[in-house]
Copies of this chain bind each other. A is one copy, B any other.
Amino acid sequence: MIEITEIELGVTADMHVHLREGKMMELITPTVREGGVAVAYIMPNLVPPITTIDKVVEYKKQLEALSPTTTFLMSFYLSKDLSPELINEAAKIGAIQGVKCYPAGVTTNSAHGVDPNDFTAFYPIFEALEANNLVLNIHGESPPKKDSDDIHILNAESKFLPILSKLHSDFPNLKIILEHCTSQDAVEAIEKLNAGYKDGDKVTVAGTITAHHLSLTIDSWAGNPINFCKPVAKFPSDRNHLVKAATSGKPYFFFGSDSAPHPIEGKARHTGVCAGIYTQKYALSYVAEVFEKNNKLENLKTFVTDAGVSFYEVKDVKCSDKCWLVKDKFNVPEVISSKDVTVVPFKAGDELQWKVEWRK
């Protein structure tokens, strides 16, 4: 058996990235590239959320100033502020590649989100997305109902899946992503919606999978706010299904880190802990480790490059070099910080096996 010590991944993509604003944005934006990512799809859940062309253009400019060789794909936040006309205009000038849908109340800065039980109100927007070949990104959790077993944090994703199926059935040509799949049910739903898929077909419904959900389970975040994110990591069997999907080489599962930095003060709290895990700076190192452990390194490039780039039909990229991973162990630092802000990275202190290198 030959040991693999270098892997060429090409123009890699992370299709779910939170870069925030201000001092946090300044610290985190350059780490997209450091973590091995060339193309990043940027979340619009700022405060207030991004719902105008001016704001998205200005935000992209700020990000490009901080990391000129990273390709930023931009998005709007689905809300009543959007209109089909705005979508058409934004698509025409290439200001956005998609729209992100947050059910109200399910995660960080989702207070302006929508009621997924009343999606028909947004059908004109979805029609405009479909017509312009833009992507609809969905945080797929039904909003919690506190006093019954109907919906709680462990089944909120499963409860959302029928809504996903209906959307796909109503908009068969709309490109939809179920973001950050966390459950066996989610994996099976994406498989089912792609049941007729044949090599070379255009994928219309895909699931993204984060780095952290490939290793965490419920026991990992109980008592460890640093591992708390939404949707929460679930059972070992769910995690195993995610690993199987991510490493499968199938084009409808690809990488979206949902790297979501919070200042350490937002994590070390006795109440109201911020949901989100910061993985950006070591994104591909975390992922490669899982693929290696499962003897699936040959499918890593599909997951972190080809499937996402193909789904989004990414054409122009800012970098002229390629991402490589090189077997070379190192320890994740305890914190990532500037003079203004400190973030604890995922697996702080742990040893990882693969380092990022950019080569011409």
Interface residue ranges, A against B (CB under 8 Å) = 144, 146-149, 152-154, 217-219, 221-228, 232, 235-237, 264, 267-275, 344
Contacts and interface: CB of A to CB of B under 8 A. Distances in A.
A222 to B, nearest CB: 5
A272 B224 contact: yes
A222 B226 contact: no
B270 A223 contact: no
The interface centre, meaning the residue of A217, A223, A275 with most chain B CB atoms within 10 A of its CB, is: A223
A228 B236 contact: no
A185 to B, nearest CB: 15
Given A149-B235, A224-B271, A224-B273, 7 more contacts: A152-B218, A153-B218, A154-B154, A222-B232, A223-B273, A225-B269, A264-B270
Q: How many copies does the complex hold?
A: 2
A269 B273 CA distance: 10
Contacts of A236: 146-149, 152
Contacts of A275: 223
Contact of A267 (B152, B221, B235, B270): B270
Contacts of A228: 222-223
Contacts of A219: 144, 146, 152-153
A267 B273 CA distance: 11
Contact of A271 (B217, B226, B271): B226
A96 B153 CA distance: 42
A87 to B, nearest CB: 34
B218 A154 contact: yes
